[in-house]
Amino acid sequence: MQNLDRSFLKEVSRRSGQGFEGCFHCLSCAGGCPVVDAMDYNPNQLIRMMQFGMREEVLGSRAIWICVGCFSCLSQCPNRVHIPAMMDTLREMALESASKVAEPDIWAFHREFLKQVRKRGRVFEVEFMLRYKLSTGALFQDMGAGLKMVTKGRFRLTPTRVKGLEEVRRAMEGQDGRNR
C-alpha cells in the first residue's frame, strides 16, 4: 500500500478544491445519476481508482465525458463530495495529458462551442451545429432534427458579435486543449 502513487489524487484534490476521503461508496451518486448506464465506471469507482493512483485509467475513461454536471450526485451525497467539480478537473487534466479522449464526439461538442465563443464572444448555433457535424463526420445524422429547427425558425441565421471580443479572448488564454 505504501507504494501507491498519491500524486494524481493530490493533484485532482488541489485543482478541484475537493477532498475525497469522505467517500464511503454508499452509491448514492451512482444511484441518482441519470446517465450512469452510459458510463464505464461509476462516479465512486473513479474516486477509488484515483486513490489507487490509476491516472491513465481515470483520465482515459468515458465516464468523465458522459457526466453532464446535473448535480444529482452532489445533492444526494451524504458527505457532499463535489463530483461535478471533480469531473471538470478530470476533463481538463485529460486534455492536458497524453491520454486518448474516450468520447471524441462529446469533446468535439465542447471544442466547437468554445471556438464559437472565441470567434464571436457568443455561440452562433447554426454554425456551431454544422461545424460539430463536420468534425465528427456525422454530417447527415440527425439531419431531420436540424432541418426542422431551421424551417421552424428556431435558429437565428445571422451571427452577432461581441464588441469587447478582446476581453473574451483574454478570458480564454492559456492552453486550449488539444484538437483531436
Residue numbers at the binding site for another protein (CB under 8 A): 34-35, 37-38, 66, 68-72, 74-75, 85, 87-89, 91-92, 95, 103, 105-111, 113-114, 117, 121-125, 129, 132, 136, 142, 145, 148-149, 152-156, 160, 162-164, 167-168, 170-175, 177
- Closest separation in Å from C-beta 89 to another protein: 7
What gap in Å lies between CA 10 and CA 2, rounded to an integer? 15
User: What cell was used for 64?
Assistant: 468523465
- The number of CA neighbours under 13 Å toward the Cβ of 114 is 15
User: What cell was used for 96?
Assistant: 492536458
- Closest separation in Å from C-beta 52 to another protein: 25
- Closest separation in Å from C-beta 125 to another protein: 5
Judged by beta carbon, residue 5 or residue 137, the one nearer another protein is 137
- Closest separation in Å from C-beta 111 to another protein: 8
- The number of CA neighbours under 13 Å toward the Cβ of 106 is 16
Alpha helices in the chain (DSSP H): 7-16, 28-32, 43-51, 55-59, 63-66, 72-76, 83-96, 104-120, 125-136, 143-151, 165-171
Whether 179 and 111 have beta carbons less than 8 Å apart is answered as yes
For residue 162, which amino acid is it?
V
Judged by beta carbon, residue 53 or residue 177, the one nearer another protein is 177
- Closest separation in Å from C-beta 123 to another protein: 4
Judged by beta carbon, residue 51 or residue 136, the one nearer another protein is 136
Judged by beta carbon, residue 3 or residue 175, the one nearer another protein is 175
Judged by beta carbon, residue 42 or residue 72, the one nearer another protein is 72
